Amino acid sequence: MRGLFRNAEMERALPVLETLRQNGYEAVFVGGCVRDVIVGRPLTDIDIATSALPETVMSIFERTVPTGLAHGTVTVLLNDRSYEVTTYRSEAAYDDHRRPSGVSFIPNLDGDLLRRDFTMNAMAIKSDGSLIDLYGGMDDIEEGVIRCVGEADERFREDALRMVRAIRFASTFGYRIALSAWRAIRRNRDLLQHVAMERISIELDKMVGGAGPHRAAAWLAASGLLPRTRDPLPPGFAQAASA
């Protein structure tokens, strides 16, 4: 643990964690909200992971929406806010380099964090504000590095969009991409053809509107990713792709 991490939006969401805990289940903040609290960025979403099964979450809280039961996600409505609560899970093989063929609910957080893309996105915060960091996410944030959880080739073969996300995070945060991840991007870039252009365009739009669009263009040109898309590029990125 490296001290306490708290945020006003997380404080408002604490009753969700505490209610689950009082009913005998683990619950933590996970993913991008944890990363953004650590680096001091405003939070756009609060994601919560729990050991409780989806039907249990729905039975515990009065107001819920079954937004993604197949993937373990229930939206809890509390005090005019909504919070996505997802059961700890592991994922089956990725058949199309984009989505897992199935998920299995698991009782422990360790396995849930292991399935995530980058170390800085694979951390959790408990209700007492303590950090759970099993894969070196804090060290990578401090060093300004985008690094995959586990083997980079495996992460990108599972979900080819992660290669574009690596560049988006690097450009937005001003970080470098770990050599292991960069080499894996170059090795696996042909897999981008399996990803719908809509999903790629969302990532590109975030790059354009982010803090480092010029860095993004340079990373994209060096990676050779964009010429591998299945559909024509959006305006403004053709030059980067051909550079």
Residue pLDDT, tens place only, 80-98: 999 999 999 986 555 655 5
- pLDDT tens digits for range 170-207: 999 999 999 999 999 999 999 999 999 999 999 999 99
pLDDT band at 103 (very low <50, low <70, confident <90, very high): confident
What residue type is 158 in one-letter code? E
Nearest to 184 by CA among 132, 149, 216: 149
- pLDDT tens digits for range 56-69: 999 999 999 999 98
Tell me what the pLDDT averaged over the chain comes to: 90
**Would you state the pLDDT for residue 2?**
44
pLDDT at 233 over 60: yes
Q: Where in the chain is the domain with CATH 1.10.110.30?
A: 144-242
Q: State the alpha helices, DSSP H only, in 2-151.
A: 8-22, 32-39, 54-60, 109-114, 137-143
What's the rounded Cα separation, in Å, for the pair 158 and 223? 19
Tokens of 14: 């604490």
pLDDT at 38 over 70: yes
What's the rounded Cα separation, in Å, for the pair 155 and 117? 6
CATH class of domain segment(s) 144-242: mainly alpha
Q: Which CATH architecture has domain 8-134?
A: 2-Layer Sandwich (3.30)
Mean pLDDT throughout 222-227?
93
pLDDT at 127 over 60: yes
Looking at per-residue pLDDT, the higher value among 129 and 240 belongs to 129
Q: Where in the chain is the domain with CATH 3.30.460.10?
A: 8-134
pLDDT at 169 over 80: yes
What residue type is 30 in one-letter code? V
pLDDT at 236 over 60: no
Mean pLDDT throughout 155-164?
95
What's the rounded Cα separation, in Å, for the pair 176 and 137? 14
Which residues, in sequence order, are CB contacts of 110 under 8 Å at separation 6+? 134
pLDDT at 240 over 80: no
**Would you state the pLDDT for residue 241?**
46
